[in-house]
Amino acid sequence: MASPELSVIHNTRLDGLAQPVQVIAITGGKGGVGKTSVAVNLATALAARRRRVVLLDGDLGLANADVFLGLSPRYTLAHVLSGERTLDEIMVAAPQGFQLIPAAAGAADLAQMGPTEHLGLVQAFSALATRLDVLIVDTAAGLAHSVLQFSQAAQQVVIVICDEPASITDAYALVKVLSRNHGVQRFRVLANQIRTPGGGLELFQRFERVAARFLDVTLEYAGEIPEDDCLRRSVRGQRPVLDEFPSSAASRAFKKLAAHADTWPVAAGPRGNIEFFVERLVRRPAARPQVVR
């Protein structure tokens, strides 16, 4: 059911609300698996495919998408929520042809926002929706509320895993909480830092065997990104690897991922609207405890 502030918006008619937007959350549970690297390079690769892309830095604690892009934003989403700035004023244009929404550090729990902030968020995103095909959300590590909220709100949830036991167990915990408490049943799994070609599929299958056995979820393999020193060097150089080393193995994999992501269905009707995204973003999670064993 729509929240009261959304009903207010229905009456004020905001054109952007009708536009279908693909919302992709990049998440994974464990820290350092490569979420921000994937988010930044997927944004770059989709922008190169002439998609109108906005990258939302959803890592509310350790926001660093701006650092990966060598940008120094002055304002963040927090200024939009407080009404001090508009979304247009805080968005930063990345030279790679997309826009960055810098994180609202400190607004760690979106569910605790009041009606005024909800309204601000819906208005901010609806104004944006007219000029946007894809919204990519880079999330924080762990099971923070913001991670769960961004994931439950997205149309596509990409779980980044790598071949480390902690990555698999943390990804499992995340999928478990999202499926049991947040109504997310479908996940795309991207294998990162893969050392041998084809190793990503093998890793995915290992993860899927456990998840399919114990959880009621559908997992789809999104492909693999190789372990590539060019990517590490590009992070140090504060540029996407696609920009810095366009013919590297990692860059080729990101182009392939973008071509694949371009085929992911965008929900038609209300489910594909940015309104729906914001509605789910601010929805409080189910009352069930989020204990993961």
Ligand X SMILES: Nc1ncnc2c1ncn2[C@@H]1O[C@H](COP(=O)(O)OP(=O)(O)OP(=O)(O)O)[C@@H](O)[C@H]1O
Q: Does the protein bind ligand X through residue 250 (CB under 6 A)? A: yes
Distance, CA of 35 to CA of 217 (rounded, Å): 21
Residue at 218: amino acid letter: T
SS3 208: helix
Distance, CA of 176 to CA of 215 (rounded, Å): 7
Task: List residues bridging with 137 in a β-sheet.
Answer: 25, 56
Q: Does the protein bind ligand X through residue 232 (CB under 6 A)? A: yes
Q: Does the protein bind ligand X through residue 285 (CB under 6 A)? A: no
Distance, CA of 132 to CA of 230 (rounded, Å): 30
Residue 29 Cβ vs ligand X, minimum distance, rounded to whole Å: 9
Residue at 137: amino acid letter: V
| Among the residue ranges 88-96, 126-134, 179-187, 228-236, the one whose residues contact ligand X (CB under 6 A) | 228-236
Range 183-202, binding ligand X (CB under 6 A): 192-193
State which of residues 16, 26, 33, 36 lies at the interface with Mg ion (CB under 5 A): 36
State which of residues 133, 163, 170, 228 lies at the interface with ligand X (CB under 6 A): 228
Closest CA to 101 of 127, 109, 185, 10: 127
Q: Does the protein bind ligand X through residue 63 (CB under 6 A)? A: no
Nearer to Mg ion, 17 or 104 (CB): 104
Q: Does the protein bind ligand X through residue 44 (CB under 6 A)? A: no
Structure tokens at 67: 């650092």
Q: Does the protein bind ligand X through residue 179 (CB under 6 A)? A: no
Residue 63 Cβ vs ligand X, minimum distance, rounded to whole Å: 9
Q: Does the protein bind ligand X through residue 31 (CB under 6 A)? A: yes
Inter-axis angle of helices 145-153 and 165-181, nearest 10: 60
Residue indicated by tokens 């309204």: 119
Closest CA to 102 of 120, 122, 126, 85: 85
Q: Does the protein bind ligand X through residue 27 (CB under 6 A)? A: no
Residue indicated by tokens 């929706």: 129
Structure tokens at 263: 């085929």
Structure tokens at 127: 């104004």
| Among the residue ranges 31-39, 89-97, 174-182, 192-200, the one whose residues contact Mg ion (CB under 5 A) | 31-39
| Among the residue ranges 10-18, 32-40, 202-210, 280-288, the one whose residues contact ligand X (CB under 6 A) | 32-40
Q: Does the protein bind Mg ion through residue 280 (CB under 5 A)? A: no
Which ranges of 32-182 does DSSP label H, i.e. alpha helix?
35-48, 65-68, 77-81, 87-90, 115-129, 145-153, 165-181
State which of residues 110, 231, 257, 274 lies at the interface with ligand X (CB under 6 A): 231
Nearer to ligand X, 77 or 235 (CB): 235
| Among the residue ranges 35-43, 49-57, 66-74, 104-112, the one whose residues contact Mg ion (CB under 5 A) | 35-43
* Footprint of Mg ion (CB under 5 A): 35-36
* Footprint of ligand X (CB under 6 A): 31-37, 59, 141, 192-193, 225, 227-228, 231-232, 235, 250
